Amino acid sequence: MGLFGGDNDKNKFSFGRKGEEKTLYTTVDSETGEITIYEDKGFDTLGRDIKLGTIKPGEKFVPHEGGPLGGLYPDGFSDVFVGDNARYFISDEGQKELRAQAAKAAQMGCEASSATATPEACRKRTEELLDTGKATTNPDADADTIATDTLNKLNIKENPKTRNTFGDFRYPLTINDAQDVMQFVMLKYSPRELGSGENFGFGERERVGIDGGSRKIGSATLAIQGGISDLNGCDWGEDSMNLAKLEAAKIAINAIDGAEDLGAGVNSLLGRMNNVSDDMKRALKIMYGGKAAGLNSLLKRTDGAILNPNLELLFDKPTLRPFTFTFKMSARSKKEADQIVKIIRFFKQGMAPRRSVGNLFLLAPHTFQVHYLAKGLKEHPYIGKMKECALLSLKTDYTPENNYATLPDGYMVSYQITLEMKELEPVFNDDYESDTEQQMASFREDPEENAKLQEDFLNGTANDPLPGEIGF
């Protein structure tokens, strides 16, 4: 066990009310962060300093009383601090001053412990040690590393007034398990973790099932309306690479792989070029040497020609699928009108950004997992699935018939909402994998056909499987 601080001039400090000051010093356990406070004495106690008490991380001051000297000499907190001076010692102000002195001692001890220790790292280690009893920051770390590590470990607490429980709503109220429905499951936002092992980039975000999982904080079930669709896409872009660029790339690669020099690579290229004039070879060589503004420009002016650009459409990046849903809701009772208002509030509040304690940060809004449910029980095998989505915009029309009309209780006769959503992640080829549970679903009206399909699935002899492998 190592100790920072101790009985030396650098660590000693004057403490107490004016006229009653005492000379104190602290020690800090380098492994547990426990602070021990002493009064510096001298020959009147045979060189034995008086232990006043200890402070453990996250705990209050515990005074020390008595000792092996049996009262022959002062040996405890009450022997040193009494009255107003003692009250100041244990006050918040006094304890803050003592902790600051202990932090100073630990800081100096950390810097002295290693020739490469940095003040920034030792300051961070001291905070960790005194707050939690554990120091994880490398004493050699620089300021940038410490800042990055601090951000990565940052635990931002949301405002305690944030709503994280919404309940389950449905419209119409008479909707039942015999109907196909859309279900919007609200999820507490969860960022993807950095990949590890052989998984480079970010980790996988598992698609949430119809039960919502542990992240579910509410749901809204609505009747499927017209206009549902999905739009798959990828971004492709035009790209060109003429001979000069291509061969320059080869030369660069060869140079990286151990070619003798760039000139050797250029000479090798020119040697492979048949039916090319000496002048053209010289022009290319000059171009590679960076002594010409551009061969293409010269060829355009003199011969009306260009180097073949080898134009090609190349994959650029995936795109995120957008979705638009419109629902018109008309109340047939006060209870149903109240449900409609709650559904609108469900979407409005769920898509709103969250604030942190103190309003220093803004946190991501809640997200949604959308399901098309067949007969309200399982995901529809004939409609594409969706990944987790963000609600980008919500338009609420309070007069969808272009006529202002209210019910006796003040509710609008009808409401219409339009949801603009977008998936959080692209759809990839391997997302379209077989789903046995989906394949077992059947919507064939003929009972015999249905029974035969399920039997074939069980036996592995299905020739006309249901399109469960459509996946998303």
Examine the domain organization and report whether 136 and 212 are in the same domain.
no
pLDDT at 291: 46
Percentage of the chain lying above the pLDDT 70 cut: 71
C-alpha separations of 91 from 44, 60, 88, 365, 472 in Å: 29, 10, 5, 42, 63
Examine the domain organization and report whether 20 and 103 are in the same domain.
yes
Structural domain for 18, as ranges: 3-152
- Domain end, chosen from 310, 339, 366, is at 310
Pairing outcome for strands 354-355 and 234-239: unpaired
Tokens representing 259 are 């070619």
**Within a domain: residue 213?**
yes
- The H-assigned helical ranges of 91-165 are 92-113, 119-132, 143-152
The whole-model pTM stands at 0.61
**Within a domain: residue 439?**
no
pLDDT at 438: 45
Beta bridge partners of 29: 3
pLDDT for 34-88, tens place per residue? Answer: 999 999 886 555 667 889 999 999 899 999 987 655 556 667 898 889 899 999 9
Q: What whole-number distance in Å separates Cα of residue 92 and Cα of residue 216?
A: 43
**Within a domain: residue 470?**
no
Long-range contacts of 164-169 (CB under 8 A, 24+ apart): 164/188, 164/217, 165/217, 165/218, 166/217, 166/218, 166/219, 166/346, 166/349, 166/350, 167/218, 167/342, 168/218, 168/219, 168/220, 168/221, 169/218, 169/219, 169/220, 169/221, 169/339, 169/342, 169/343, 169/346
Chain-centre distance of CA 431, in angstroms?
A: 22
* Domain count along the chain: 3
Tokens representing 427 are 């759809």
- The H-assigned helical ranges of 22-81 are 77-80
Taking the CB of residue 127, how many other CB atoms lie within 10 A of it? 15
Examine the domain organization and report whether 279 and 184 are in the same domain.
no
**Within a domain: residue 265?**
yes
Q: If DSSP codes are grouped into helix, strand and coil, which group holds residue 102? A: helix
Q: What whole-number distance in Å separates Cα of residue 406 and Cα of residue 408?
A: 7
Nearest by Cα to 18 from 77, 88, 91? 88
Examine the domain organization and report whether 184 and 248 are in the same domain.
no
Q: Which residue has the tokens 């134009």?
A: 311
Determine contact, residues 387/208, Cβ cutoff 8 Å: no
pLDDT at 374: 84
Instruction: Identify the DSSP state of 65.
Output: B
Examine the domain organization and report whether 299 and 360 are in the same domain.
no
**Within a domain: residue 160?**
no
Examine the domain organization and report whether 342 and 404 are in the same domain.
yes
pLDDT for 131-182, tens place per residue? Answer: 988 888 888 887 777 776 766 666 788 889 999 999 999 999 998 877 899 9
**Within a domain: residue 185?**
yes
C-alpha separations of 454 from 33, 177, 433, 434, 458 in Å: 66, 21, 19, 16, 6
Instruction: Identify the DSSP state of 46.
Output: T
pLDDT at 468: 42
Pairing outcome for strands 22-29 and 35-39: antiparallel
Instruction: Identify the DSSP state of 174.
Output: T
Instruction: Tell whether the model's pLDDT for residue 294 goes beyond 60.
Output: no
Nearest by Cα to 363 from 214, 228, 234, 190? 190
* Phi, then psi, of 221 in degrees rounded to 5: -110, 125
Most confident of 245-254, 269-278, 321-330, 436-445: 321-330
Examine the domain organization and report whether 218 and 348 are in the same domain.
yes
Examine the domain organization and report whether 187 and 148 are in the same domain.
no
pLDDT at 277: 63
More confidently predicted of 358 and 220: 220
Determine contact, residues 25/109, Cβ cutoff 8 Å: no
Q: How confident is the model at residue 198 (pLDDT cuts 50, 70, 90)?
A: low
Instruction: Tell whether the model's pLDDT for residue 195 goes beyond 60.
Output: no
Q: How confident is the model at residue 206 (pLDDT cuts 50, 70, 90)?
A: confident
Examine the domain organization and report whether 87 and 213 are in the same domain.
no
- Mean pLDDT, all residues of the chain: 80
pLDDT at 154: 66
Q: How confident is the model at residue 456 (pLDDT cuts 50, 70, 90)?
A: low
Instruction: Tell whether the model's pLDDT for residue 286 goes beyond 90.
Output: no
Tokens representing 458 are 């069980």
Tokens representing 170 are 């449905």
State mean pLDDT over 112-131. Answer: 88
Least confident of 300-304, 334-338, 406-410: 300-304
**Within a domain: residue 459?**
no
Determine contact, residues 55/26, Cβ cutoff 8 Å: no
339: alpha, beta or left, given left = phi > 0 and alpha = psi -120 to 50? Answer: alpha
Examine the domain organization and report whether 216 and 277 are in the same domain.
no
Instruction: Tell whether the model's pLDDT for residue 425 goes beyond 50.
Output: yes
Q: Name the amino acid, one letter, at 207.
A: R
Question: Does a cis peptide bond (omega within 30 degrees of 0) precede residue 172?
Answer: yes
Percentage of the chain lying above the pLDDT 90 cut: 40
**Within a domain: residue 304?**
yes
pLDDT at 259: 45
343: alpha, beta or left, given left = phi > 0 and alpha = psi -120 to 50? Answer: alpha
Examine the domain organization and report whether 390 and 353 are in the same domain.
yes
Q: If DSSP codes are grouped into helix, strand and coil, which group holds residue 341? A: helix
Examine the domain organization and report whether 45 and 120 are in the same domain.
yes
Q: What whole-number distance in Å separates Cα of residue 60 and Cα of residue 76?
A: 17
More confidently predicted of 394 and 195: 394
Q: What whole-number distance in Å separates Cα of residue 169 and Cα of residue 335?
A: 12
